[in-house]
Chains A and B, each alone.
Chain A
Amino acid sequence: MSTIQDFTGYKPTWCSGCGNWGIGMAIKQTLVQLGLTPSDIAVVFGIGCSGNMNDFLNAYTIHSLHGRAIPNAIGIKLANHKLPVICVVGDGDCYGEGGNHLLHACRGNHDITVIVHDNRVYGLTTGQVAPTAQKGYQSKSTPAGIIEVPVNPLVLALTSGATFIAQAFAADAVQMATIIKAGIEHRGFSLINILQPCVTFNKVNTYQYYLQRSYKLEKNYQKDDFRSALNKSLELLEEKFPLGVIYQVKKPTYTESLPQIKEKPLVEKERFRDFEKIVKDFI
């Protein structure tokens, strides 16, 4: 049986009070709860404060390029669909630089769990605006206020085919762990958007801001209903933040749709040798 210690790598370098601490702990707790060891999982990190978790979490991991964690993760899953695969990414990483990958990973229902640290700001490059920032947000790169409206990741994922969509708040470790566990257990593409204050660079979207505007989904909420999920996801427009599993349905995953890896994962298969079958195409 593994413990939190087994997953604990180097001491984190995050700012004190940063939401990343809570998210990092919730991820480790979840892995312990699931009875996994560092050898049983693959994690892909993007680049940013969130991605720096690479040195603090023990697992088979890739610390990838900015924006490219999702395709790496898809590759890992295609090669060995028995491994649980998690992406730890930021809002700029996943909704900006790698936005295209997110849409297409949803479409494919690739069985990976994408945990997005959404703090509406770029921390590692010292405070420029992120794609989730509210219109008018002033930052170093948008001193007059951002002209663009924010992306709505929940709606994007929902309308692109994701089969598990959830939102959590970095200050609520217990609910976060429950949601991350459900996301890893879900077979199919899971997006978990974590509302996370950046104590150093974002003075608008603070713990207080989210405490006032977020609420937990009701017990009788119908998470398999697309229209309800759409309505919940659209509450961002009113600065309301539902917390919990907003949408979950069961559909075949990408690897489940590949007959060639039905028996064994791709990496474990015997080498194909019946070359005559394809050579004859050229006669």
Chain B
Amino acid sequence: MIDFTWKIGGEAGFGIMTTGLVFSKIASRLGYYIFDTIEYPSLIRGGHNAYEVRVSAEKIHHLKKEIDVLVCLNEETFKKHQQRLTINSLVIFDEDEFKIKGKKYKKISIPLEKILLDLHGPVIMKNTIALGASLAVLGGKVDELLKIIVEQFGRKGEEVVNFNKQFAQTGYDYVKKKYPQQIRPLLIKKSLESKLVMTGNDAFSLASVIADCRFFCSYPMTPSSSVLTTLAAWQKKTGIVVRHAEDEISVINTALGTSFTGVRSAVGTSGGGFALMVEAVSLSGITETPLVIFLAQRPGPATGMPTWTEQGDLLFAVYAGHGEFPKIVLAPGDVEEMVELTGKAFNLADIYQLPVIVLSDMLLSESHESISKKFIDDFIKSYKVKRGKFLKEMTNDKLQMTNQVQNPNVKSKNFLRYKITKDGISPRLIPGTPEYFYQANSYEHLEDGHTTEEAEPRKNQVEKRNRKWLTYLKEDFSLPKVYGDLEKAKTVFVSWGSGKGAVLEAQKQLGNTALIHFTHVYPLDKEKVRPFFQKKKRYILVESNSWGQFGKLLQQETGVEIKERILKYDGRPITAEEVVKHVNSLTR
């Protein structure tokens, strides 16, 4: 079965990221599944960039250990990644720049510098030559690459297109001529089924538009920034309004303003930006204003390691906000779940009138996965915009919704925005509706929105808000998904969010294991969750942080304690090999 890893590395600022994505798209267009990740420091120039693409005939969720083709645009790439090469690995490099000794790997030297000189090309064209060479080595056709060049540069005219094309063609021809014996038939057209190459951030962006989100507000922060730039680029096509505000405090308060006025709204950020938003998360809570918050985690504290990955903000997200108010936290495990849960998050925010946090992390936000186009088409067809008790107009039968005790001289009616209800959810009237008015109040308030400091109404409002959680657990909470046979498995992994991929890959190697994977991480339904843990089995918690944050949350919310843990917090994603190694080294 075809399953290989291609990796390219070079100096930051010279097009590695674009090149990697082009490779992923080519593989995907040929019908293969891909999973890719990028490595880059928090710098624009200097430092080392790398882009790794795993290509497989079957659906994959993570990287693999060996690198099969390593494209070295500089010596550092080779030095940094050579430990993952095997005797069958191919190394593409330029021996005019550096030498590789010995016969441990298959070597393909391409005179990148010389080709640049001959064709009068800028340094960035090394990528295009290397892409052409890579396609040749993998038995692909250069046409796929030439097509993408036309798509990328078509707008700039034929001259630019042809200029780029010649580098691709030269790289391709060079390998065909000089290294015919190294060519491997790995990238031959496989299927006609259309696939999409998307990151978690792409998935959030796309699903937001599908979910009728009309306003997105953000301040750039790695690794969430591409949601801002993607949605900003779509404004003309989709009509969404995107505001890049002065700071994250303004970001969330602007979105609460649009949401109050009846527009589905979302904000996007990472840990530090979310920290600034927290006061207004609480405002969303007491004013019962719906809001979707996209929180892409990276290693903290403070500035931490901006371009690396961690699941270190779970408990922060869960407890964000002063005072007691309900919120919902969802954590998708892959790109498809990001699409589904983003769609659900907007519905939940509207139905329950509260903040819903969609937790991602650098690994999920910036890695590409292929998903079938049919999956998106089906999602579009089946998705229903559910706005809950949102009233776009008032009719006479809703008159009981107004305050009967108000001043009789006032012609307009004070709508009972915070009416006490059984399910905890009060009807919400769109501002601007004639003959009515009300206030969304950050102070504790009466049913009609006016400020109160009285004991009884306070107690009633607290309990009303808390009841929304009970309604949610009954109506919309989803149980963890089980991968593998929970009955037969001796070893059971417990994970959440992006922890899923590495465990699924490890399961392929281990056999007879199961994974309990949580996406609806907060609140948790004790009665429904506990039965998953009643068997006498070896449970292993897998997460990317040093505290075992989900383990703590699970224990607090359900009483289930998992003692054995695989925790990683060096900024790198957990790998399947690490999971396998842990299981085998401690097998009892």
Contacts and interface: CB of A to CB of B under 8 A. Distances in A.
Interface of A: 2-3, 5-6, 8-10, 37-40, 42, 44, 47, 52, 54-55, 58-65, 68, 70-80, 82-83, 100-101, 103-104, 258-261, 266-267, 269, 271-272, 274-275, 277-279, 282-283
B442 A65 contact: yes
A267 B451 contact: no
Given A68-B250, A103-B246, 12 more contacts: A8-B409, A39-B434, A60-B438, A61-B437, A71-B251, A75-B255, A78-B241, A79-B262, A79-B263, A104-B245, A277-B238, A283-B196
B439 interface: yes
B465 interface: no
Given A74-B254, A275-B209, A267 B261 contact: yes
Contacts of A58: 410, 412, 414, 437
Contacts of A72: 253-254, 256-257, 260
A76 B265 CA distance: 12
Given A6-B411, A39-B436, A62 B260 contact: yes
Contacts of A5: 407, 409-410
Contact of A101 (B214, B236, B243, B246): B246
Nearest to A56: B450
B412 A37 contact: yes
The CB with the most chain B CB atoms within 10 A, among A65, A70, A78, A260, is that of: A78
The CB with the most chain A CB atoms within 10 A, among B28, B262, B409, B442, is that of: B442
B433 A266 contact: no
Top 5 A-B residue pairs of the complex, sorted by shortest distance between their CB atoms: A75-B257, A79-B261, A71-B253, A60-B431, A104-B246
A278 B237 contact: yes
B175 interface: no
Contacts of A52: 451
Contacts, number: 214
Interface stretch (B1-9, B59-67, B118-126, B279-287): B279-287
A54 B441 contact: yes
A80 B432 CA distance: 9
Contacts of B410: 5-6, 8, 38, 58
Contacts of A80: 261-262, 431-432
A65 B322 CA distance: 13
A260 B236 CA distance: 7
B95 interface: no
Contacts of A3: 409
Nearest to B251: A71
A78 B260 contact: no
Contacts of B412: 6, 37-39, 58
A267 B259 CA distance: 9
A61 B263 CA distance: 16
7 contacts: A5-B410, A37-B435, A58-B414, A60-B431, A72-B253, A279-B206, A283-B29
Given A42-B431, A65-B283, A72-B256, A258 B241 contact: yes
A93 to B, nearest CB: 13
Interface string B419-453: 00000000000111111111111110000001100
Interface string B461-486: 00000000000000000000000000
B196 A71 contact: no
Contacts of A271: 212, 385
Contact of B247 (A73, A100, A274): A100
B373 interface: yes
B385 A283 contact: no
B373 A279 contact: yes
A236 B439 CA distance: 36
